[in-house]
Amino acid sequence: MRASPPLLLPLLRSDAVGELLAWLYLHPEDEYSTTDLAARVGTSQSTVSREMDRLADAGLIIERRHGNLRLIRADMDTIVAKPLTDLLAVTYGPAAILPPLLQSISGIDEAYIYGSWAARHVNQAGPVPRDVDVLIVGSADDDKLYDAARSAERILGREVNISRISSASWTDDTDNPFVTSLRSKPLYPLIRRRIAT
């Protein structure tokens, strides 16, 4: 049986294609190997290779070889580059924009998108998400999180709301209604770090 199209952008074949395109078009100055893209999207390298073949045939990407390495970037000189970039920013953009912004901030043990965007990502029906809700687990500085949210908003074209809780609250606080609610709903992982023991 064929899978349903993704609710974030039903024009695409799958969420993996949306996330791959978002990484490429929302970071047009970067080149990625198929291995790197597979790790970022959480899919197999063979799936990435097949999708990159399709995108290359459509003229949407530029690729070059460096030895055995296949390096890929978005082709920003096509007539569809600007509208496609805009569409990807408001659909799959959070998956490609938030991780690099948050990885540079110390004190983040875990980070997730929750709320309507995460629900649409797992194909729960509902309206187009108007904002992006992010949960930060750890002791990150609130001012740095605020700056990251504002940077993301400029690219994504929508409000980014960041909530922070301590690692202890996230792992041990079973009586906290906010934590209980979050754990019962879809979460899209942005960062998962192991805490040194």
pLDDT in tens, 18-35: 999 999 999 999 999 999
Q: Is the pLDDT of residue 196 over 70?
A: no
Q: Measuring CA to CA, which residue among 36, 32, 26 is closest to residue 151?
A: 26
Q: What is the CA radius of gyration of the chain?
A: 17
| CA quadruple 77, 79, 83, 88: dihedral, nearest 10 | -50
pLDDT of residue 9: 75
Distance CA 11, CA 97 (A): 21
* The token pair that represents 171 in the structure block: 């792992």
Residues in a beta bridge with 69: 66
- How many CB atoms neighbour CB 93 within 10 A? 26
Domains of the chain are: 15-91 (1.10.10.10), 95-192 (3.30.460.10)
pLDDT of residue 176: 85
Which residues, in sequence order, are CB contacts of 152 under 8 Å at separation 6+?
94, 97, 98, 101, 132, 160
| Beta strand spans in 30-158 (E) | 32-33, 61-66, 69-74, 108-114, 131-138
Question: Residue 7's pLDDT band (boundaries 50, 70, 90)?
Answer: confident
Cβ(26)–Cβ(93) below 8 Å:
yes
Identity at 19, one-letter amino acid code: E
Mean pLDDT calculated for residue range 79-107: 95
Q: Measuring CA to CA, which residue among 74, 117, 65 is closest to residue 92?
A: 117
pLDDT in tens, 167-179: 999 988 778 888 9
Cβ(20)–Cβ(50) below 8 Å:
no
